[in-house]
Structure 1
Amino acid sequence: MRTVVVLFTRDLRVHDNPALHAACAMVDQVVPLFVLDPRIRAGAHRHRYLAGALADLRGSLRERGGDLVIRHGDPVTEAVRVARAAGAFGIGLAADASRYAADRQRRLATACARERLALKLFDGVSVVPPGALRPSGGGDHYKVFTPYWRAWQAYPRRAELPAPRRIALPPGLAPGELPDHDVPGGETVARHRLAAWRPAAADYADRHDDLAGDGTSRLSAALHFGCLSPVTAASVGVEPFVRQLCWRDFYHQVLAAFPDLPDKPYRPGVTEQWRHDPAALDAWRHGRTGVPVVDAGMRQLAAEGFLHNRARLITAAYLTKHLALDWREGARWYAERLLDADVANNCGNWQWVAGTGNDTKPYRRFNPVRQAHRFDPDGTYVRRWLPELAGVPGPAVHEPWRLPDPRRLDYPPPIVDGGSHG
């Protein structure tokens, strides 16, 4: 009987999974495999989300007669070992753009060639694969979003693939233990979330910047882990929301062309002059800058592993443009704590805010107090995350210089002069 291994990575789903779909259509037996790599560092929120997603995936596979095989260690070593044990002739997985993923794919290709195993990569992490769109004027990728958006809209979108009805697993493979999980998650929750949110998507343009209202889809973590297909998400069809999915694809094609995105300025010729101020960095990380809207955002991140889209912009701009601290410090902090922090979007957006990336206006500044008044006009978002300011009425909560005695509130004054309203 013909057998293949499907190595799950950032595609933890059975619906619209190109690698799994192809395997089930082509061969008799399929080994769904996930390898927990100890080299990947992540915070508690992400570990919990991943554990829930794996449990849900195992349940979906078992409903179809299969199982999810769990292993620990190097994914290349373990994938080849499982393939040998199962008598598989090949391995399939979703292609990805990060330096880690590219290294995994190169090493897996070498190992498969040595072991005489076939290797097949499938597109499925983005709507449009990185490299599929090229500027007409030359170059290997788009550097500016707007022309990419036009090309992206015109690109033929593949059809969604159904979940397999049956999966046959070879006998004799120990499934392995799932990591402990205490919250439901994964594809089932993501698809329910999409269905529940779909009617509200029509108001996305009007509501997605409302800090207190939280009118975003809350699907970013599901997209990062692949619990929800980006093609499925794009089926919502509401242009302002679909445009955000295009931004996601845009940064994936940037990362594929510029693997140094997490470490080096994307814009050529940028001179970086960041301050070294550990105390200011620590205050920013823990929501103690003295600028309420910034601190509220950082407290939300700590509590939920999630940060509202507008709050991400405000907090990142404050770190780089007001505190003049290195964007890499912010990107690393987010990468460890955000549920949805994939390399492409995390680093691409941090570079955009810092003025080192794809922003066509790299010297723009965001006034956090004005942003707060505009997107949290009555201060509800700030008071939600800063309980020490709960008694400060109305929009006055956004203005540090109008707050009562900070010692009585147990809330610090702004850590930099002018940082709150400059």
Structure 2
Amino acid sequence: MKQNISIVWFRQDVRIADHEPLYRACQSGKPVLAVYIFDERQHGKTSFGFAKTGSFRAKFLRESVQELQENLEKLGISLYVAQGTSEEIFSALSERFHVSDLYYYRLYGTEEMEMEHQIKAVLQETVIHSYDGYTLYHPNDLPISLDQLPNTFTAFRKMIEKTGKIRPPFPIPAYKAKKVILNSCVPSYSDLRMTEPMMDDRAVFHFLGGEGKAKKRLAYYLFESKRILQYKQTRNGLLGEDFSSKLSPWLANGSLSPRTVYEQLKRFESEHQSNESTYWLYFELLWRDYFCFVLMRYKEQFFQRSGLRRLPLKKAVYDERKLNAWIEGETGFPFIDANMRELKSTGFMSNRGRQNAASFFVKNLGLDWRIGAEWFESCLIDYDPASNYGNWLYIAGVGNDPRPFRYFNIVKQAKQYDPNGQYMKHWLPELAALPVAFVHEPEQLSASEREFYGVTDYPQPIVSLSQSVEQYKATDMKARKRR
């Protein structure tokens, strides 16, 4: 006779604190088995041929799942870690056990929603308990329906700050039922068909996965260093551990919940101080929520080239030379190249870098924004569908941006945020000897000066900034008029 069990299915929620599905399952009094699946589709290829989960995020994820397994074991719950397709794994589990109940957090990406549909088809006799928990504000607590969601972030922010409410986090549950024993281990890198990444010595922060590391970083940034008090002034920094919270990777895979961050932020303000910077961390959590709600509203449209605006765009030109130059950090624009090399070498890039790299990709190189978004998806440790694609839609001008044409002047941005070229020289050692006067625009050097400063191997600019952006702008405006 099959053992009667409940399953808690973990996905982008690899934690035991503030986890409603786990809490509810433990409250039921039934034997609980936790399940995490390295679904082969999430470790396959993107539509443009990149690895869907790059090695840095895979490393961070493996560490996070390993700690989740250890934490659940302390509660008396086994975490069964499997590899394959989710429907195949659940089908095998249903043959071995009588799965009476399935508990999980809903996700909002089209692929994730399709996966849920397939699991339900496999577990037709199972009672499904699904919950919302990826956002700070619960979707059911919004003062409007999703189809009434404001088209700009500012309108959303003003509405939610006036009428919204934030639910308290769930406590870590106590588990008293019989343990369901099913041994497993986290897949190796070879199992995932990749090699373990080697962190570049120039990385200024080493991200380690797991709920404990997330809580430690949160406590450090708020209570130990109190760097939160300068967050608004430093958040656009490029070098260093503490110019920003660095919480995004743990938020992305759910080692840390936004409600836990908010709860600790409010505690800090109560015990110490509140200012513009403490508000700004909450402000960034709101941006994360907003993109998630936009994804929930627009679904497949969120990932289409025409975006939310359904503009009749001219067919994008695929230029492999430009694409590879951007990926490898060989465009001839030091600010772009430094950021792209950091991304490829560490799996991380600052928010300021992401905005500039994306703007350059679309507005100067004239490439399909979805290709750039997929490269970020592959590389970023803190990738999540809503924030990544939402930001690319925004930069490409087919998302939630009130401006008809948004463009980042790369050289101006570099001079503003890296005035002495410290960041660029850090990631572009071939420019180390350049004086500040030339580091932002090395193309101004004569041939003899390039030889004198040892920059003969650094490429000339791949495009003209002014001409390329004007060409793109003219094309973009025609598309908007045709609409």
Task: Please confirm whether the aligned pair reaches a TM-score higher than 0.5, indicating the same fold.
Answer: yes
What is the CA–CA distance in structure 1 between the aligned matches of 2:386 and 2:104, rounded to whole Å? 19
Letter in 2 for 1:233: V
Counterpart of 1:207 (choices 220, 225, 234) is 234
Counterpart of 1:259 (choices 287, 296, 299) is 299
Counterpart of 2:171 (choices 157, 162, 167) is 162
User: Which residue does the alignment assign to 2:217?
Assistant: 193
User: Which residue does the alignment assign to 1:142?
Assistant: 150
Contact 1:7 1:79 in 2 (8 A): no
What is the CA–CA distance in structure 2 between the aligned matches of 1:191 and 1:83, rounded to whole Å? 35
CA shift in 2, pair 1:108/1:232, >3 Å: same
Offset of 1:82 from its aligned partner?
2.3
What is the CA–CA distance in structure 2 between the aligned matches of 1:76 and 1:48, rounded to whole Å? 24
- In structure 2, list runs of 5 or more residues that go unmatched: 43-51, 190-195, 197-206, 267-277, 470-483
Letter in 2 for 1:391: A
Offset of 1:84 from its aligned partner?
5.0
CA shift in 2, pair 1:104/1:416, >3 Å: same
String of CA shifts for 1:147-181, please: whole Å, max 9, x gaps.
Answer: 2112333321111111124465644x432221237
User: Which residue does the alignment assign to 2:20?
Assistant: 18
Letter in 2 for 1:123: D
CA shift in 2, pair 1:314/1:9, >3 Å: same
**Is 1:413 aligned to residue 473 of structure 2?**
no
What is the CA–CA distance in structure 2 between the aligned matches of 1:11 and 1:386, rounded to whole Å? 37
User: Which residue does the alignment assign to 1:79?
Assistant: 90
Contact 1:35 1:75 in 2 (8 A): yes
Superposed, 1:44-63 pairs within 5 Å as 44-63=55-74
User: Which residue does the alignment assign to 1:380?
Assistant: 422
User: Which residue does the alignment assign to 1:389?
Assistant: 431
Q: Secondary structure at the match of 1:212?
A: coil
- In structure 1, list runs of 5 or more residues that go unmatched: none
**Is 1:282 aligned to residue 306 of structure 2?**
no
User: Which residue does the alignment assign to 2:8?
Assistant: 6
Q: Secondary structure at the match of 2:303?
A: coil
Counterpart of 1:176 (choices 184, 190, 205) is 184
Offset of 1:294 from its aligned partner?
0.4
User: Which residue does the alignment assign to 1:31?
Assistant: 33
CA shift in 2, pair 1:132/1:98, >3 Å: farther
Aligned pair count reads 418
User: Which residue does the alignment assign to 2:371?
Assistant: 329
What is the CA–CA distance in structure 1 between the aligned matches of 2:381 and 2:445, rounded to whole Å? 33
For structure 1, which segment, 376-385 or 138-147, has the greater mean C-alpha deviation from structure 2 after superposition? Answer: 138-147
String of CA shifts for 1:39-61, please: whole Å, max 9, x gaps.
Answer: 11311111111110011111111
Counterpart of 2:336 (choices 294, 307, 314) is 294
Contact 1:293 1:382 in 2 (8 A): yes
**Is 1:270 aligned to residue 318 of structure 2?**
no
What is the CA–CA distance in structure 1 between the aligned matches of 2:309 and 2:468, rounded to whole Å? 31
Counterpart of 2:253 (choices 222, 225, 228) is 225
Q: Secondary structure at the match of 2:134?
A: coil
Offset of 1:127 from its aligned partner?
1.2
For structure 1, which segment, 7-16 or 211-220, has the greater mean C-alpha deviation from structure 2 after superposition? Answer: 211-220
CA shift in 2, pair 1:402/1:227, >3 Å: same
User: What's the Cα RMSD here?
Assistant: 2.3
Offset of 1:395 from its aligned partner?
5.5
Counterpart of 2:289 (choices 243, 246, 249) is 249
Contact 2:80 2:182 in 1 (8 A): yes
For structure 1, which segment, 78-87 or 237-246, has the greater mean C-alpha deviation from structure 2 after superposition? Answer: 78-87
What is the CA–CA distance in structure 1 between the aligned matches of 2:436 and 2:229, rounded to whole Å? 29
What is the CA–CA distance in structure 2 between the aligned matches of 1:417 and 1:96, rounded to whole Å? 42
Offset of 1:253 from its aligned partner?
1.0
CA shift in 2, pair 1:277/1:184, >3 Å: closer
Identity %: 30
User: Which residue does the alignment assign to 2:271?
Assistant: none
Contact 2:78 2:182 in 1 (8 A): no
Letter in 1 for 2:154: T
Contact 1:135 1:142 in 2 (8 A): no
Offset of 1:121 from its aligned partner?
0.6
Offset of 1:377 from its aligned partner?
1.5
Letter in 2 for 1:414: P
Q: Secondary structure at the match of 2:34?
A: strand
What is the CA–CA distance in structure 1 between the aligned matches of 2:295 and 2:156, rounded to whole Å? 14
Superposed, 1:314-325 pairs within 5 Å as 314-325=356-367
Letter in 1 for 2:188: D
Letter in 1 for 2:441: E
What is the CA–CA distance in structure 2 between the aligned matches of 1:221 and 1:325, rounded to whole Å? 27
What is the CA–CA distance in structure 2 between the aligned matches of 1:7 and 1:149, rounded to whole Å? 32
For structure 1, which segment, 327-336 or 68-77, has the greater mean C-alpha deviation from structure 2 after superposition? Answer: 68-77
TM-score when scaled to structure 2?
A: 0.81
String of CA shifts for 1:399-420, please: whole Å, max 9, x gaps.
Answer: 2333464574221010012369
CA shift in 2, pair 1:262/1:275, >3 Å: same
What is the CA–CA distance in structure 2 between the aligned matches of 1:129 and 1:212, rounded to whole Å? 35
Offset of 1:350 from its aligned partner?
0.4
Contact 2:364 2:468 in 1 (8 A): no
CA shift in 2, pair 1:419/1:290, >3 Å: farther
For structure 1, which segment, 49-58 or 74-83, has the greater mean C-alpha deviation from structure 2 after superposition? Answer: 74-83
For structure 1, which segment, 99-108 or 309-318, has the greater mean C-alpha deviation from structure 2 after superposition? Answer: 99-108
CA shift in 2, pair 1:166/1:403, >3 Å: farther
